[in-house]
Structure 1
Amino acid sequence: MHSRRALPLLAGTMLIPLLAACSSEDKADAKPRTELTVLAAASLTDVFKQAGRAYEKEHPGTTVKFSFAGSQELAAQVRQGAPADALVTADTKTMQDLKSETTTPTVIAKNRLTIATAKNNPKNIKALSGLSRSDLKVVLAAPEVPVGRYSKKVLDQQHVTVKPVSQEPNVRAVLSKVTLGEADAGIVYVTDAAKDKVATVTVPDEQNAVASYPAATLKGSKHAQQAGDFVKWLGTEEAQKLLRAAGFQQP
């Protein structure tokens, strides 16, 4: 009687190491997850969050983490050796200045400028020339920021002199000043103004500037293959549809 009761116990005892061995094999067979860090221009914030989710769905072994800032801030991070895998800037100049740190870049999208004003445009701003009015508080991005450089270019070409009340570190900061009522107007990208509580004044094509967005893998990446795959994916039909829907233009 005693020996028969011991049999189930003995069988269970023998099963434990077998299950443990299977569990160890499952862990050994499981592929390790890859976390990519992508440094991206502030104007890509909304659309890249969508793109990241879409990419992760297609690539279940990869997580994409973004760090958004002005392109000049991103460049400083790269030069300081910040751990990252890919870079997307809002201009070709910043990327070109980092050519020793990146692989060959690919332009993934383009953008244009618009004038953002308070909702319903209470100051009745009609064109770039109107930004020189003394009764206006105008905010621009700093000249070392791509959108600030583009803004200066279009204003200079139209011989418009603007004395900004502040110069901001990125395009989102410019938009925030207008949205919060701290400025009457600012020059931003079309894609940024589209989703915020502001009015816009169109800048005609002949007076506008085209912003190109190059993407590249960083040479210091520990996940060069996966980072390269993500950069290539940004040129696919799925990624381009997301960019078009957000207001970006084709490369």
Structure 2
Amino acid sequence: MRTLRALAAAAAALTVAAGLVGCGSDDSTAPSPASDRISGTVTVFAAASLTETFTTLGKQFEAAHPGVKVVYSFGGSSALAEQIRQGAPADVFASAAPANMQQVVDSGDVTAAPATFVSNRLQIAVPKGNPGHITGLADFGRTEPRLALCAEQVPCGAAAKKVFEVAGITPQPDTREQDVKAALTKVTLGEVDAALVYRTDVRAAGDKVEGIAFPEADKAINAYPIAPLAKAPNAAGAAAYVAFVRSDQAKKVFADAGFDTP
């Protein structure tokens, strides 16, 4: 009888041990820490001038986090800030100027401190071949050329206003656009002889346009802040995306596009 009891006890012990070994195997394949376990969709509101770089970074981010989808809403920073303040669901905001970021900070829609990740400066964009014979910023004070500027409430328009004040020029635009890409489109379509856009937009347009640098641009350099939003539906994804945008990998993408990085 003692022998049977001993055998039964040994068998039970082996069963428990096997169970413990099985648990150990499960732990070895346990998911990575929560910071790496992001999933779902990351919705990013970003300045129009970030369209090309953020699209590239979105693909890289998705490749690094299988199953995650990055969805962008590009536009004028002022319009995006207002949408966020009105309750539009988004995870991250990247502005082309601190002033528009400050609006969402003041409204309580951003609680983490925004971080500057790049800066940019204006350049004159003209159609290929420069049919309007534009030579510099002074041409924006003439009535003859067809000219496009950004609306003053968006960062590229605010920067343009500053450079005109520095240069003592009263601009004579034929149109004011709601974001920098709209102003650039006027140039690529040949609807205007020149537009003030960012140098990164000139580079992104390739051989469709030509860029003319001017010294006053150094007086109105735009800093770009980024921050996760307080009511982000995907807070973990927002934090991971912001960290990625500030990474060395992202800095290379920005530098190749013509941005200045910290």
Q: TM-score, normalised by structure 2?
A: 0.81
Q: CA deviation at 1:149?
A: 0.5
Contact map agreement 1:107 1:215 (CA 8 A) in 2: yes
Letter matched to residue 155 of structure 2: P
Q: The residue matched to 1:98 in structure 2 has which SS?
A: helix
1:39 aligns with 45
Q: CA deviation at 1:150?
A: 0.3
For residues 1-251 of structure 1, the aligned pairs below 5 Å read 33-99=39-105, 100-102=108-110, 103-196=112-205, 197-204=208-215, 207-251=218-262
User: Partners of 1:208 and 1:218 in 2: how far apart?
Assistant: 30
- Listed one character per residue, the Cα deviations across residues 32-72 of structure 1 (whole Å, up to 9, x for unaligned) are 83211000000000111100000111111421111101001
* Identical amino acids, percent of aligned pairs: 39
| Structure 1 unmatched runs, 5+ | 1-28
2:11 aligns with none
Letter matched to residue 137 of structure 1: R
User: Partners of 2:259 and 2:90 in 1: how far apart?
Assistant: 25
Q: The residue matched to 1:151 in structure 2 has which SS?
A: helix
| Structure 2 unmatched runs, 5+ | 1-29, 32-36
Contact map agreement 1:158 1:207 (CA 8 A) in 2: no
User: Partners of 1:32 and 1:247 in 2: how far apart?
Assistant: 31
User: Partners of 1:133 and 1:205 in 2: how far apart?
Assistant: 18
- RMSD of Structure 2 on Structure 1 (CA): 1.7
Letter matched to residue 152 of structure 2: P
Letter matched to residue 138 of structure 1: L
Deviation larger for 30-39 or 166-175: 30-39
Q: TM-score, normalised by structure 1?
A: 0.85
User: Partners of 2:218 and 2:114 in 1: how far apart?
Assistant: 27
Aligned length: 223
User: Partners of 2:120 and 2:238 in 1: how far apart?
Assistant: 24
Q: CA deviation at 1:207?
A: 4.8
Letter matched to residue 119 of structure 2: K
